[in-house]
Amino acid sequence: MNFPLKKYKGRIDINKALEIGNSSVHYSPDYAYETPFEILDRIKDSTLLWIDNQNSLLGLSDHKKTLLVPLNKINGIEIQNILKGKGPGESDLFLYLHNNPFVMLSISPDTYYFDQYADEISKTTGFTVTFSPEYYNA
């Protein structure tokens, strides 16, 4: 699907970054932007989770789009694993915000996919990564 992507007007200055494989960047109407050229230069074939301290942003980028969320809105990061039932299993990566419930960052079709990155995500972003209880996709 094609959703409208805003252009980010500022200059991105990445302080810390973590490649999290080739997972897709989820669309969020409030936070979706065209991937800025400063990021495109750093992305190879993977998705990049990054922090820009100068502009106080957390970003998740692939070649097509970037989610940009102000650091002061973020309460924490959560991984949700959905076990294969009648439907497929998956692994979801969320940002929990102070005012809104959450922003979905990414979905992987592989259950437990983001678990391998939990410690590095916490070190890179400075936010605690929690795991919500697993459930079956019934």
Q: What is the pLDDT of residue 2?
A: 67
pLDDT tens, 90-131?
999 999 999 878 999 999 999 999 999 999 999 999 999 999
What does pTM read for this prediction?
0.93
DSSP characters over the chain: -----BPP-S----SEEEE-TTPEEPP-TTTEEEPPHHHHTT-SSS-EEEEETTTTEEEEE-SSEEEEEEGGGEEEEEEEEEE-SSSPPEEEEEEEESSSSEEEEEEESSTTGGGGGHHHHHHHHSS-EEEEEEEE--
pLDDT tens, 22-74?
888 999 999 999 999 989 988 878 899 999 999 999 999 999 999 999 999 99
